[in-house]
Every structure is written in structure tokens, then in C-alpha cells.
Structure 1
């Protein structure tokens, strides 16, 4: 989740949690003359709920352990354990067949019949499973594709404890566990079924720098493991539990693995955070800017965060400059932009906190948008912003 949830989910989480949204201060309005430049100053990067990743690093630099870090960002949770496998959608494979590179120990599985067969080590450059003439067929490539076996159900490849190299339109990618071609919504998706601990090896170093302080990386491992366990209990579809993108957590398979993050995963093996007997929804984002955001769950609390402010955090405070024309082209119904008015904020921190609602007054129309929509449309790091017109 280098860590962006959708605007809709964010808005629902805030409303469901009963968060008190404060009216904006009287000074939260700016006249916009023609051809004006607008400086947007802000704090944080991401939705701000749960753990700040830069905050976790700041806390680790002050000597906090991973348990103390997760206690701070997910108050009221307890430590439990999770094991088993997780089914991951492989977004890079957009083809209609499932193609892998031959290797020793490669096995094909018939998921319909519950049978498996070792694949012969013959002179072939590719193996694949493809839906052809009403059945899934296992084929090998020599001078052309030839059928080796017909399956009763969906097909999958594995290679024991070794990775399977998947061929995608963009190249090859290695994955631990099993890769399958599964039906979904009249089409086919590629799914990597992998042990939870192996999955984390492809997630943690893509979500947090592996060479950050060990306790920070351990806290990331626990948050990522818990997030995966939560999503496994609330699967994204009938074919898979999680996406391999920021829709869930970024997952890169074997190529993403790093010895330092592997060590953090081993040090926290199977540890997850629980609340009311189930895995917690451990959202995290790059930086909360010094104040976390409340959500709909008891452990998603708004609170000041001094750890986020350590000197190495480039996202604690930032600014960008846009023109009035940029806003006029983004919301063309405005005509000429005349005024920016912040209607509501969340009430926490400088400027009275994050923007919940914004009104843009133009020569033709007035447009009211949520803070999340503003952030998305303008490419801002967060909704905790103020404006200066010059």
C-alpha cells in the first residue's frame, strides 16, 4: 500500500467512524486573480491511517521495538499468529494462456481432477496451459506448440521449493509456490498461490526500504502480514485473495526479495496484530505529516505523531505550485476560477487539519469536491493542505 486507498473507501471509512469534521476557519478562502499562481503547501504522503512508514523509521531511531511501534500506530491490538497460503492476482500476465519456462522438477497440476504429473525434461523452450477446443490443454513448444495432456479442470505449475518462472507480455517473473490459470468473469486470471511468509518476502522491500532500521522493517513485516491475513479473510474475488498492486500490497515475487527484509520477516515469523479475535485492518502510508487520521475501526485513531517528523522524512512538509489554468482545465465547468474555499477540515493539526471538502467558485459555476478528489485530480501527496495565491 505504498499506500493509497481509493477516495471512496477513504470517505466511507471517515464517515462510518463518526469522525467530527470541523468547519474551516474564516481565513480558509482565497481570491484568485487572472493568471495567478497557486502554491499548495502540505503535510504527509498518503491516507494517513494506521502506521506512518517514515514514522516507524523515526520511532526505531529513537529505540522503539517493532511491538512498541505497532502499539503506537494500532492501539488496542494484540499479537497473534497467522500461517498458511495466500492467493495473489498476477497483474502482469494479461494473456489467455499460462506460459512458464522449463526447469528441473517442474510439475503440472490438474486442479479439477486433483492430479499432478512431473513434466519431462525434453528439448522444449516453453510449457503452457491453454483453453483450446473446450478443454484446458498442457502443451510444450518445440518448432510449434504440441499437446502433452488434456486436463479435467484448471491447470497450474509448481517446482517444489524452487521458483516457477512465468512468461508475461513484459518479460519473465519468478514466483515461489504455484502459478495457476483460473476462470473469472468469463475470462482467465493468473494466480500465485504462495505461503504467507514467502509472499511477504516479495512485499516488504517494495513497501519499505529493506535497509532502514531493523525494528522499522520488522514493524512493516508485521503490518504487511496482518494486512494480508485480513484480506485473505475478506478475499477480493472468487479466484484470488489479494492484488499484487497498491490495490492491496505491492508484490514483486522472487525478484523483489532482499536479505535484510527477509531477516525482519524471520524475526517476526507468523506474528500478526489482532482485534476482537480476527486480523486487524493494518493500513499504512508513507507519512502522516505528524498527525494520524481516524478511521471506522477502534484502532484507527487520530493522534499527534512526533516520530513522523525525523529529519530524513521528505514528506513531513512539502509544497507544489500550480496555475489557475490547471484548476480550470481540471474542472472546466468553472469557467474562470475566482475563489478557493475550504469548507471543512478534520480538525487535527496545523491549519485545522486535512481538507474534507473544498469549494471552487468560478465565473460560470461553483464546484464542490472532497479532499480526496482534490488530491487525486491534482496529484497531491495528501489532503492536509493550505493555499497561497500570488
Structure 2
């Protein structure tokens, strides 16, 4: 037995009798924890650069018409008047609620018949329009300790008054000139639409789009661009409104956002719009184009160098966890591959196509899709 044990020990030491150890399973290689990006500009870059307009006016003594001619070439000057119908995007409820006010009235849209509300319930604090009869009518109610029904109006209705109306919605209370309608969307929902004169509408747009105390010529350029953008929207109306009040269209905050300086710019350019073929042009604009305008879908949206724009460089660390949460099918994030650019400016321009590669697959996005996926300032970017 001792001899057998010694033989086994000798063989073991020689390494020829012991079974080989099992190999450990290969671990999945982890990708980077983040990808560092740097970019230029803020926004899509089509049409007017707002920072470029400010620099053109304040540093290069350019007038608003010279600014507009640069950013929207080959367009004519025209005039626009009348009302615009604005979807109040912040009012996500299915009712229209306004504060009690002297001279408050309600109007039936189909017939134009009106009813005064101010003396009905003097101690009421609020009035409301809601759908009734399965959406075929509108109920008018007032709040006095609780909601109380006042009348039911066939079809749709709107509030109007002698003074601006104070709309109460989930975002707070804002004042609007014109009327506030309760309208039915194609999906059957009830939405709030402000019907307001175009010039009054601009009073709630221009100071939300640029600082009202910027150079007056830059603010005038913004007033014309915003008026034209709105007039173009009237030529291409939605089912029950012309334009929305969020960044998806133009930011609009009602008359409460007006400012004397931007009001002056609106008056100085009263009614002025830019025309293409006799119709309002599609005058898109963004905060900063990074030094190069972007070509768009119409002839007057051209790609060219913009020496007025201050570039507005930016950097951002994009966590891999954020990429994986947005595109779980790719597995563990590995790398970004920029596949195509527009060829204009530094780094060969804005990203047109980008591929996101992971351990289990990949996904391809346009530069603008990628920008919105991760709330980046622009699609003019590269890996730092």
C-alpha cells in the first residue's frame, strides 16, 4: 500500500496522472461605461439662427431685413392679418376652466348665440366647459363650493370676455386674449384652443423665443420669422387648430408673457411676413446653427457658412446605461459608429446616420433621432 501511494504521488508530481482542471467560462466583455461627446450649435440649424441674428445686429450693425435676407434668401415681403387658432398644449385635461371675471360670456360655435355669465353666480370663482351628451354638447358649469351645472349648449362652445381670460390648467394659470374654445379632437378628446388675433398671438411668442431686451433689430427679425411661421401654419391647418403652443411649433405663453421691448418690435414690423410664391414661407429657426446653416426641404433653406453665429460649443458624457435603457435589444453597449455626415463645416458636418452597437445587436438612427433620443443640443457632434 505504501508503494502504491508513493507511486501515485510520483505520478501526480510528474503531472501525467491528475485529471486536467476544468476551464472557467469566458466572461462577457463589458463595453465602456459612457461615451464622451462634443458638439456645436443648439437646435436643428435650419433657417434663422437666433444667436446669429443677435450677433449680426449687435456686432455687425445689420438691420432686421438684412438678417432675414441672409437666413431666408430669395423671399419677398408681404402682409398677414386675421386670427390664428392655437392649441394650448399645456391644458392636458378634458375641460376648459377660467377664472370668474367681469364681462365673461359663453358662445355657441355653431350659431354664434351668446350668454352672459358674470351675473349668474357673482360669488363663483371659476367657470368650466365640459363635454355632455356623449360629446354632442357642451356643459357650462360654475364653481361655488362645488361644481354646479348652469346650462348645456348644443355642439361646441367658447369663453370670451371684455378683458383677457385667465385659463387654469395643470401647468398653472395663464392669461390669453381672444377666446378659449372647448373642441373635440379626431380621437374624441376635448382640447383647449385659443382663437386670437395674429399680432396679439405674437406678444406671447416673441419674448418666449428670444430675450425681449436683445438688440431691437434681432427681436424684429424674430417677430417677422414668428409671424411668417404662424401664417404658414394657417395655410396648413390641423383638424381643429392651426398651431400648437409648445416647442413642437412655437412656444406661446399668452398675453401674460408680453414685454414692452418685444411689443415694440412687433409694432415696428406690424403685419410683415416673408412670402415664397405668394404664400407664407416655412420660416424655421433655432437657437444656434453652430456656424453653418442646414439645408431643408424648401429652396430657401440652404446650407452655407454663418460667420455671425457664435458656434455655442458643448460637451456631454452619455452613460451606457442610458443608451441600453433606450435600446434594450442591443445588450451591453459597445460603441458608436458615425456612418454619414452632411459634409458642411467642422468634422465634416452634422451627423446624418449613426449606428449604436451592442453585444447582442445594433440599431441605426438619423442624427436628429439620436439627438432627440438623448436630449442633445444638436446633431452636429463627434466622439470626444
Regarding TM over 0.5, the answer is: yes
Matched, 1:352 2:348: yes
8 Å CA contact 2:100, 2:126 repeated in 1: yes
Does the alignment pair 1:179 with 2:177? no
SS at match of 1:308: coil
Q: Is the 8 A contact 1:222 1:273 kept in 2?
A: yes
Cα separation, 1, equivalents of 2:317 and 2:140: 56
* Partners of 1:113 and 1:152 within 8 A in 2: no
Q: Give the 5 Å matches for 1:136-151.
A: 136-151=138-153
How many Å apart are 1:379 and its aligned residue?
2.2
In the other structure, the counterpart of 1:92 is: 90
Matched with 1:199 is: 201
**Distance in 2, Cα, partners of 1:232 & 1:68:** 26
Pairing partner for 1:225 from 224, 227, 234: 227
Is contact 1:113-1:153 (8 Å) kept? no
Gaps of 5+ in 1: 1-31, 310-314
Residue 66 to residue 334, structure 1, CA distance change in 2 (3 Å) = same
Which structure would you say has the larger Rg? 2
Structure 1 residue aligned with 2:106:
108
SS of residue in 1 equivalent to 2:43: coil
TM-score (ref. length: structure 1): 0.84
Change (3 A) 1:84 1:321: same
Distance 1:359 1:147 in 2: 57
1:297-342 CA-to-partner distances (Å, cap 9, x unmatched) read 0100000000002xxxxx6211122345544444343344444322
* Structural mapping, 1:175-324, within 5 Å: 175-184=176-185, 185-236=187-238, 238-309=239-310, 316-324=312-320
Question: What SS does structure 1 have at the residue aligned with 2:231?
Answer: helix
1:159-203 Cα distance to aligned partner (Å, 9 max, x none): 13x201122234322110001111222121111000000000001
Structure 2 unaligned segments of length 5 or more: list them. 1-28
SS across alignment from 1:383: coil
Which whole-Å CA distance do the structure 1 matches of 2:320 and 2:94 have between them? 46
The higher relative CO (CA closer than 8 Å, separation ≥ 6) is in: 1
Structure 1 match to 2:126: 126
Equivalent in the alignment of 1:43: 40
Going from structure 1 to structure 2, the CA distance change for 1:192 and 1:33 (only over 3 Å counts) comes to same
**Cα distance change of structure 1 residues 92 and 360 upon mapping to structure 2, 3 Å threshold:** closer
